[in-house]
Structure formats: C-alpha cells, structure tokens
Amino acid sequence: MRSMGYMNTIVYPGTFDPVTRGHVDVIERGARLCDRLVVGVAGIAYKSPIWSLDERVDMVRSATQHIPNVVVEGFDDLVVHFMKRMGTSIMLRGLRPVSDFDYEVQFAWANRHLDPNVDIIYLMSSQEHFFVSSTLIKEMYEGGGDIRDLVPASIADRIVLGLSRARGGTHD
C-alpha cells in the first residue's frame, strides 16, 4: 500500500494539437490532486500534428501559466519512459462520455503491459467540454466555423493563425 503522500507528481500526457479549454479544465482539476502536475506534450510523428512539438509546448505553457504547480514538458518516447523520468507512476487522463472509453481501455492496457506499476486516474470532462476535441476544432475550423470559444483565450489567435496556415490561406 502506498503512503498518503504518494500523489506528489502526476503526468497528464497528450498531443495537444491544439490545446483546448477541455484540456485546461482537466489540467486545473488534476493540479488539485497533487503537488506537481507534469503536462507531457507528445512529439508523436505518426499523428502529423499541425504545430511542432516546441510550439505545442509553448501553447500549453501559455494556457496553463495561471496554475502554479503545473510544469509542461515535451517528450518523444513512450509515455511510461517519460513518467519514469518525471519520477511518477501515476498518469492522469480526461474522459468524455462514451467517445473516449474504447481508446482509453486500450491505452491503459498497453501502458500497464509496458509498466505494471502505472496507475491511471480518469477525470470526466466537465459538461461544457463533453464533445470538444482537438480533431473537432480542426474540422469545425476547416468548415468555416468560429472555434475561439473552444480554445484558451490566451492562445486563440495563435491557434486560428496556425489552422489558417495549415489550410494554405487565411480564415478568421
């Protein structure tokens, strides 16, 4: 059995391409569970992110600068290896109703297979963020929708500019 002080560091991994208000909600709530919440921004090449790893790290830092116990770091290897470097075996994940469950079960199994000591804490998304995802934001923007209220205000213009560049033009 672990001691009561075992949750001094938790890792919240993701690609954050782009970071959403839903992500920030999970980060704010997760930060209350520990002394230090490390947001791990994954440099996963197979997902073909719009923003570089450094840009995504910078955007997450900007969106979470108001949370004193949050640290944002990029990583290019397995999340279990990143967690070991951060000195924890506890991972935080956000869940939206039904849509995330199948993936999260597979993700949990894979990470427990790689490191049986990994424990995952799930936080249900707040109701206003149930259906917000980075993919949905990109699709809404591509269709001409205004996505500014779905992303952190501090980086909304930067996200719109990045999405505009990715589609090869300008769009507000």
Do the annotations mark residue 95 as ligand-binding?
yes
What number does CATH give the domain 9-169?
Answer: 3.40.50.620
**Residue 82 contacts by C-beta under 8 Å, 6 or more apart in sequence?**
11, 13, 40, 73, 75
Specify the pLDDT at position 117: 95
Do the annotations mark residue 170 as ligand-binding?
no
Concatenate the DSSP letters of all residues of the chain into one string: ---TTTTSEEEEEE--TT--HHHHHHHHHHHTTSSEEEEEEE--GGG--SS-HHHHHHHHHHHHTT-TTEEEEEE-S-HHHHHHHHT--EEEEEE-TTTTHHHHHHHHHHHHHH-TT-EEEEEEPPGGGTT--HHHHHHHHHTT---GGGS-GGGHHHHHHHHHHHTTS---
89 is catalytic: no
Q: Which of 50, 110, 38 is nearest to 75 (CA)?
A: 38
Specify the pLDDT at position 160: 93
> Which residue in the list 21, 23, 56, 138 is annotated as catalytic?
23
Query: Tokens 């938790």 map to which residue?
Result: 10
Specify the pLDDT at position 45: 66
Do the annotations mark residue 3 as ligand-binding?
no
Q: Where are the domains of the chain?
A: 9-169
Task: Report the chain (172 residues): mean pLDDT per 10 consecutive residues.
Answer: 61 96 97 97 85 97 98 97 96 85 90 95 90 91 93 94 82 48
How far is residue 103's CA from residue 105's CA, in Å, rounded to a whole number?
Answer: 6
23 is catalytic: yes
Token pair for 90: 């506890």
3 is catalytic: no
> Which residue in the list 47, 66, 85, 165 is annotated as catalytic?
47
Do the annotations mark residue 134 as ligand-binding?
yes
Do the annotations mark residue 135 as ligand-binding?
yes
Specify the pLDDT at position 6: 46
> Which residue in the list 89, 125, 134, 138 is annotated as catalytic?
134
- pTM of the model as a whole: 0.91
Specify the pLDDT at position 170: 54
> Which residue in the list 36, 61, 96, 112 is annotated as catalytic?
96
Do the annotations mark residue 96 as ligand-binding?
yes
Specify the pLDDT at position 1: 36
